[in-house]
Structure 1
């Protein structure tokens, strides 16, 4: 199964990833320059940038969680359009360490696609109504897109052994400013249906407190008739779907995939 999934990473996909990262970098720099121009200097923008930085850490964690949940829960590697992205999520549940062998391009390029339009908007925006509000929104767009782009790299660091993680990464993890391995380990327990937020994990307890993911899943199942994680269950063989309730049930023999 792993060989089948790994073969889905084609030279064409690699070339597209490189182009996406180049476009993202150019757009991010253009947005940063535009914000400085609009703010008319560094000092004027400092407060807005700091507030935007903090807000963006929550937003990026949530957005990364939504994408993670969606690709873990629905579709298959054979799905049209999105199958090429879902492939890596199935591979990750079979072999969590596989991504530690991937370079920055393979790990991070896909994360640049969704936030790109917002980054382009921040690069061309001119103040229309309220200076402070719009400047803050531009800073939120700038930092959120950067954090979203870095989310899977942060995820990769959470899977590296301690001696392979850079010191600064270990410090940020210990401060819970980025995803800590202990927090992420909960996700890798079959049926892989918890702790989807993987930038810093701040949103995980908030969403879990009112059963956010299960409520959304039940709504989609009721509307479309599809069962959550059915394809993931087939690939991993570590849990099964109750046909009556639609709930994911851990197999008795299943154990955490671990690190």
Structure 2
């Protein structure tokens, strides 16, 4: 397999020394995604501040519940996304092709994600965030809905960074990140490590991993694989022998 395909942060650089560096288009999309989140957060804050003097306890409760639901939905969404790109599609798949190829490579070289520029890992989700969230945030004046969207989009966009931190040795983590992992707010290494062990068909969620126990206990993704196979005839990659695409290669 070519070096480009063995790297989770797919870039246009052929130079081995720069294989983990993001490209300018990737950085641009990442910047757009961050700007979208900041704009959405700023508008949400202004709406809340304007309503604060007359807001009832119920209104504050609605905002808190919206944020909590957004956080939980982001974790669930990260699991669905991770399951899909791990098991289906190819490098030629529109929009998500690079992500699919890099996730396949990630199973052979799990630690490589820790060496990649943040923009190189997050640019696809940043692009989706920009296109989907920015118009909505600019047009909506519903503070409760915007809180949900900002929290969902923020945690969803950065879910792959949480994933990278879950592969990073603790001594190399910023103190705040380690504290968030310890609190279970973002994904812990010990929880995600199970995803890289046979049969490779669970622990897909990468925000906090809070959904993993429920989804795995009730075999939700395993059932989804069966449904996809029966409807389309396409086998998920997790059904393959671990000696091929799913086994780690010791560098």
- TM-score, with normalisation over the residues of structure 2? 0.82
**Where in structure 2 are the equivalents of 1:193-232 lying within 5 Å?**
193-229=201-237
Matched, 1:140 2:148: yes
RMSD: 2.8
> Quick one: structure 1 residues 78 and 126, their matched pair in 2 at CA, closer, same or farther if it must change by over 3 Å?
closer
CA distance in 1, matches of 2:119, 2:243: 26
Query: Which deviations, in whole Å up to 9, do the C-alpha atoms of 1:67-110 show, x marking residues without a partner?
Result: 11001001222445432221110111010010111011112222
Give unmatched runs, 5+ long, in structure 2.
14-21
Residue 34 (structure 1) aligned to one of 38, 43, 47: 43
1:1-259 paired onto structure 2 within 5 Å: 1=1, 3-6=3-6, 8-10=10-12, 14-41=23-50, 43=52, 44=55, 47-127=61-141, 134-229=142-237, 233=240, 237=244
CA contact (8 A) 1:190 1:238 kept: no
Q: 1:188 to 1:126 in 2, by over 3 A?
A: closer
CA distance in 2, matches of 1:160, 1:91: 17
Gaps in structure 1 of 5+ consecutive residues: 128-133, 240-253
Cα distance in 1 for residues equivalent to 2:166 and 2:48: 36
Distance in 1 between residues matched to 2:51 and 2:121, nearest whole Å: 32
What number of residue pairs does the alignment pair up?
236
TM-score, normalised by the number of residues in structure 1: 0.80
